[in-house]
Chains A and B, each alone.
Chain A
Amino acid sequence: MSILKEFNIKEKISISLEFFSELVFVKRSLYALGASLLLSFFIVQNSPPLFMVSSTLMEADTSTSTSMGNGGAADKLKLFGGLTDNKSGPAEQFSSNMNSYFLAQRMWSKGWGSKIFGNGDMNEEYFNKIPKRHTITDRIGAFISGYDLYDYFSAYDLQGYIKGTIGVRQRVGETSVIISTKTYNKDFATEFMNAVILETDQYAKERLILKSNKIISATYSQLAVSKNSMIASALATTINSEYFTIANLENDLPHLLDIIDPPHSSEYPIAPKVSAIFFSTAIIFLFASILFTFIQKNKEDLW
């Protein structure tokens, strides 16, 4: 009872009721809520929906290329640094290939630059000459500092676009990799992500085939001049191993990552949150109305 007396609950309740009847339950609050509805409609109408497009991939078994190792001389050569093992996993390899200039160049030559920066015309003459616009500040900066701005979009811009929009993440200890992007155009993003995944894998395969071919040709030339039977045997094993790698890569199967879920868009947009916009605007307007009335009635006390 003493606590209740100390807090003087009766008085506090009466002040609270007075507060609500004077400041909250008034006509002005209704007007404020009406205005907030109008503004919310306007904001929602003018905010394009942003979707999440994602795809789940799983690390493919990339160990086949080394399965020819039999603990013999070729493996020993590797030990001495003759052939270096790639320490990064498939997810890291995929990510670095995806963000590379060479991948962007391949995508560019297939006309993706035109779809992103231009009007989608697949004519090479067109998409190699898509004019690049610069802001006035960029132009002034370039003029003052004396450097040239690029006139046309190039594969570097596409590389920047891929790097800036597509994220690759892998949870610690898991083999699945999630590739995602946020977009206003979900159909285009789905198509583009699909193309990026396939092209990245294809590029990784072609790069390895090229590497194996180079190793084979260099090893053949070494084999031709080698007089030591042990070294000749080791070189032959290396050639066999590289042919095996090529055989593994020259097929339609994915190399680095298997596609578990192909790129697809979220059903609902992640932004704008329509309910949150209506709710927030209502709170802001209601509080503005309360504050206005409060200041009007308590001017003297406050200043």
Chain B
Amino acid sequence: MVNEYFSLHSYGGTLEYYLFELANFSALAFFVVFLYKLNYINSNSLIAWLAIFFTPLIINYFIIPPSLFGDQFQYAAEAMSLKASGTSAEYTVGDRFGIGNTVTLTAKMLGAVPLPNYMTVTSLAFANKFYLFITFLWLKRFFSNENEVLLYFLIPSIILYSSMGLRDTLCILLSLIFIINLLRDRYVFAVVFLSPLLLLKIQVFAVLLLYLIARLLFRAHKNYYLFMLFFLALLIGGFIWEEEILEVLNLYRLAFAAEDFIAPDGSFSYAAFSVYGVGAEALVLSSVGEAIFKAILNLPMFFIMPLPWNWSNIFYPLQALESWLLIYLYVRLGMKQNLYKNYEFILLTFILLIGSSMYALLMGNEGTFVRYRFSLFYPFLLAAFYLSSASYKDSKK
């Protein structure tokens, strides 16, 4: 029903909220039970996915106030406005590159999931869960052991971020499907899944585009010489477009520093930075060489953050532990069957390092960058896992 007064109404943690969201859970749970009966998934997956589908009800409102991740309200309001009236919410403005708006695209993608209700911010979290489950079904086809794949979907951060109505899950899944398709030499599919990232997360798009160029134009995954050629071309390109690259990097370095800035008088963010932000010149990078040097220095810290002296809530030590676990898993996969000698794995790791270095240069708010790191790292981790699978080896024979 189109209602001219329709707007996102925050049901908070009321009975109606749980009613609407339990209905969404029930619909997804019914889908899992049905697939189990059809023998698409095993009993472990059935139980695990029933639990995963239940997490939005526990996390949003119950454990974490949704205002902590305030972006969800924007997406929810836009999705509901589009569903109710077919037009964008009044405060959704802007058009990136003349092709669309990030909030609108996120809302359209999340709103496309056939859920019974889109009434609260948590409805979008269920849409995220649906996409996560579909990706699981797609990915497990390449592995003989379904339980092993399931374990990668039980990593706490993927459960946490997909339990909220954020766009991070979409970015992670699109990146993952892009990389796997690239590894399977399906370039057209890969490009189809890469394109939405231009609006959803431009920095991830830039990193993955570099991967596409390395693989498609330089064939850098084939042997040492082609990899070195790509590496040299990247360096030369960096020096040729030094000014443009530094302009973008400096802009974001200052923006992230400003966002995280707290002034002595208690004021914060951009307004405080514009008044007190003395020493901002120290953040400005003057050459690509300096950028590379600083990125290398910041990289270890970026990989293991949040560091103990920055822990301010219970999630921080858990995320710190998880960051070590993810590094361990990646290294273990690299060591397994001498994967580290494989040029496909070397190129994959190199692109991951480039993306991480870029984030390490911009590093500001701990919570934000832990989320960014996970969004970048997780698809590469699953791609490394895919490289170690029998299915990948068979496809290369």
Partner-B contacts on A (CB < 8 A): 12, 15-16, 19, 43, 47, 50, 52, 54, 169, 171-172, 182, 266, 268, 270-273, 275-277, 279-281, 283-284, 286-288, 290-291, 294, 301-302
Contact of B6 with A by CB under 8 A: yes
Contact of B148 with A by CB under 8 A: no
Set A15, A50, A271, A287: member contacting B37, Cβ < 8 A: A15
Contact present for A283 and B116 (CB under 8 Å): yes
CB distance from A99 to the nearest CB of B (A): 19
B residues 115-162 in Cβ contact with A at 8 Å: 116-117, 119
Q: Which residue from chain A places its CB closest to the CB of B91 in the assembled complex?
A: A171
Set B11, B46, B116, B117: member contacting A302, Cβ < 8 A: B46
Residues of B within 8 A of A266 (CB): 3-5
Contact of B198 with A by CB under 8 A: no
Contact present for B117 and A47 (CB under 8 Å): no
B residues 13-65 in Cβ contact with A at 8 Å: 15-16, 19-20, 22-23, 26-27, 29-30, 33-34, 37-39, 43, 46-47
Contact of B9 with A by CB under 8 A: yes
Of the four ranges (under 10, 10 to 19, 20 to 34, 35 or more), the interface on chain B belongs to 20 to 34
Contact present for A43 and B15 (CB under 8 Å): yes
Q: Report 25 cross-chain contacts, Cβ distance below 8 Å, ordered by A residue.
A: A16-B34, A43-B15, A43-B16, A43-B19, A52-B5, A169-B90, A171-B93, A172-B91, A172-B93, A270-B6, A270-B7, A270-B9, A271-B9, A271-B11, A275-B1, A276-B117, A280-B19, A283-B27, A284-B19, A286-B26, A287-B26, A287-B27, A290-B30, A290-B33, A301-B43
Among all A-B residue pairs, the 5 with the closest Cβ atoms: A287-B26, A280-B23, A266-B5, A283-B23, A52-B5
Residues of A within 8 A of B91 (CB): 169, 171-172
Residues of A within 8 A of B34 (CB): 16, 19
Residues of A within 8 A of B22 (CB): 280, 284
Contact present for B38 and A16 (CB under 8 Å): yes
A268 with B3, Cβ < 8 A, contacts A169-B91, A276-B20 known: yes
Give the docked Cα–Cα distance between A99 and B34 (Å): 54
A-B contact sample (6 more), CB < 8 A, given A277-B19, A283-B26, A287-B27? A15-B39, A43-B16, A270-B6, A276-B119, A279-B116, A279-B117
Most chain B CB neighbours (cut-off 10 Å) among A43, A271, A273, A291: A273
Residues of A within 8 A of B33 (CB): 290-291, 294
Contact present for A182 and B9 (CB under 8 Å): yes
Q: Which residue from chain B places its CB closest to the CB of A12 in the assembled complex?
A: B38
Give the docked Cα–Cα distance between A194 and B312 (Å): 45
Give the docked Cα–Cα distance between A47 and B140 (Å): 45
Q: Which residue from chain A places its CB closest to the CB of B46 in the assembled complex?
A: A302
Give the docked Cα–Cα distance between A301 and B90 (Å): 52
Contact present for A302 and B47 (CB under 8 Å): yes
Give the docked Cα–Cα distance between A268 and B5 (Å): 8
Give the docked Cα–Cα distance between A249 and B26 (Å): 61
